[in-house]
Amino acid sequence: MTVRRWAAAAAAVVALALIAVLAVHLTQQARPVADGYKGHPASPTPTTASPAVPSPGPAGPAGPTGAAPSGEPAGADPDAGADAGPGTGTAGSPAPTGVAGAHPTWDPAAGAPAGADQEPKVPNGEGTEPYRLPSAAPREPALTEVPAAGVADHELVAGFPDHVVPVPDGSEVQSSSVSPQGQRVLVGLHVLSDDDPHDLLDFYARRCEDLGWPVTRTPAPDGAPQMQCGFGPDSLTVTAPTLPTGRVDLSASGAFVVDAG
């Protein structure tokens, strides 16, 4: 009885082992692949194999390259290309499409006009006027000669450059000054006016624009209306605060370099 029990136990173990091996084998079988499946992202993407390149034939009369005297590869059938369909890659037939390693032959610069790589990037021909910057007003020199130094109360000092630092109409001159320093000239003007301070600044801004000078308006540190303009070494600053009496206490100071032309 003991022998029979051992035999039955051994048969059961062998049967379980066979079942386990069969189960592992079934789980490792290839699963069906859906159409268009290109592989797992972590696996290499399948690529199309490049066409095989025929190996050169044995050296013949044409030399070590194996080329026939007529220029055809050795061993090539001269009638093979006659019956071959399109896309065979033979002489006179179009190159195969969809083959790995093939590149387009279109050159985007082929249709460009001659010298296009040397043409200016900014349009410069007919019809380009709307794209051009407006012409700047020609700059006239502020002073062409050095005036004499002087200071005057309630009037303009002799030689005062009022063509650069004009006096607004209806204003009362309180003081004026001219101070040459070599070719550099400092000019000062102080007037009282009943006009609006912004109108007075507009008066000086128009004069600066006539000279071709850019104008900026930034309030003074105390908040009073202020205008600045100039070009190169020449500059003019005009400040127009309002007094408690309601009058505008305007002061203009300029610095200019004499340009004799």
For 109-158, what is each residue's pLDDT tens digit? 556 566 555 555 555 566 666 666 666 656 778 898 999 999 999 999 99
Residue 258 pLDDT more than 70?
A: yes
pLDDT at 73 over 60: no
Banded model confidence at residue 19, pLDDT cuts 50, 70, 90: confident
Which H or E run contains 202? helix 197-210
Residue 11 is predicted with a pLDDT of 81
- For residue 40, the model assigns a pLDDT of 53
User: Given its phi and psi angles, is residue 166 left (phi above 0), alpha (psi -120 to 50 degrees) or beta?
Assistant: beta
**pLDDT tens string 33-69:** 555 555 555 555 555 555 555 555 544 444 444 444 4
Report the sign of the C-alpha dihedral through residues 204, 205, 208, 210, in that order.
Answer: negative
Q: What is the mean pLDDT of residues 164-185?
A: 95
H or E element that contains 201: helix 197-210
Strand partners, 238: 227, 252
Model confidence at 211, pLDDT cuts 50, 70, 90, reads confident
The tokens describing 77, both together, are 């059938």
Question: β-pairing, 248-257 with 226-231?
Answer: unpaired
Looking at the DSSP assignment, which residues form a beta bridge with residue 175? Answer: 153, 190
